[in-house]
Amino acid sequence: MDQQSWYATPLLSKKILAIIAGNYMNSIITDKKVWPLFGIISSLPYIDAEAKLRRILLAFFMLLGIFLQFGFASYHFYAGTKITGYILLVVGIGFSIILASYKSLSNTQGIFRVIAVLLAVLLLYSVAEGGHDGSMILWMYIFPPLALFFLGKKEGLLWILALFLPAVMLILFPNMLETYPYDTGLVVRFVVTFSMVSFFAYGIELLRFLIHEKLVTEHQNLVLEKKNLQKALKEIKILQGILPICTHCKKIRDDSGYWKRMESYISTYSDVEFSHGICPECAPKVYPEFKLYDDPEKK
């Protein structure tokens, strides 16, 4: 590799990193730290809690991926594998553009799909290239858990199949497609282990989904119970304090200064209702002509 290309490529990477770490951090992140970025994501009003969590984790993934892509790109340019270096550089720039416009992008699922396309292209190229003794194929194992978590069970599984089938074609027909010739034993182990990783990743995502649904249902029930309790508390009326009452007619004075009959006042400020009758002491005085009660003195 010529000396001029070796010095030019890291310089380009440094400029891109400076844009990300400098201008982006100053304009998007208020305190020039990474954490406020995730605060901005959490405050977005148009996405739910699950999508916010995925966006935060995706921001971590892209931030790490940017530095890895530029680092590996510089390495491959230095080693003389320019095509690999350019592909890594393009993927790193793609991650940088998405991260720089993260706040303005409202289509969360669309972001995940764009990232999945970039990652799938990079992984398929890694499988075709092979690297040192075919070790680049090991990067394929990161795709199943990421696809299932960010894209969901159904769509994530389709993306895994969309990546796995072309990868198998690249492995099985190296002469036809002019790709890296993998050992037969390595091919068998890869197919089996990749299938197992995908299976367990799907099971973990399914379990996480069921637990999440259960927690959401319980939360909704708690919110409903809270509303019912608040409604019941509003309907409860309690009489407290000192009540000014007339010593003669037994009327009660309210807060406005009006005197009300005792039963009217109590009915207004509580849930008590009165049903009228007459006691044994008052019955002979009010209705002497009627014998409503037995004479207690004769008992």
Report domain extents, the chain.
Answer: 3-226, 252-298
| CA angle in degrees (0–180, nearest 5) for 208-213-219 | 125
Structure tokens at 145: 């858990």
Cβ-proximal residues to 157 (8 Å cutoff; 6+ apart), any chain: 147, 148, 198, 202
Predicted pLDDT at 167: 92
Burial 110-136 (b: 16+ CB within 10 A, else e): ebbebbbebbbebbbbbbbbbbeebeb
Task: Pick the closest to residue 69 from 138, 123, 110 (CA basis).
Answer: 123
Distances in Å between the Cα of 171 and the Cα atoms of 125, 180, 184, 195 are: 12, 8, 9, 15
Crossing angle of helices 49-79 and 3-18, rounded to 10° = 160
Asked whether residue 140 carries a pLDDT value surpassing 60, the answer given is yes
89-118: average pLDDT? 84
- Cβ atoms of 87 and 116 closer than 8 Å: no
Structure tokens at 181: 């010739």
CA 146/CA 150 separation, integer angstroms: 6
Asked whether residue 291 carries a pLDDT value surpassing 60, the answer given is yes
Write out pLDDT tens, residues 62-72.
888 889 889 98
Write out pLDDT tens, residues 193-242.
999 999 999 999 999 888 888 888 888 899 999 888 887 776 665 666 67
C-alpha torsion sign, points 258, 264, 267, 272: positive
- Cβ atoms of 159 and 147 closer than 8 Å: yes
**Residue with tokens 């004769």, as numbered in its chain:** 298
3-class DSSP state of 245: strand
Predicted pLDDT at 57: 83
- Cβ atoms of 205 and 237 closer than 8 Å: no
Given pLDDT bands bounded at 50, 70 and 90, which one contains residue 45? Answer: very low
Please count the other Cβ atoms lying within 10 Å of the Cβ belonging to residue 96.
21
The mean pLDDT of the chain is 77
Structure tokens at 88: 């890594």
- Cβ atoms of 219 and 210 closer than 8 Å: no
| CA angle in degrees (0–180, nearest 5) for 127-84-181 | 35
Asked whether residue 135 carries a pLDDT value surpassing 90, the answer given is no
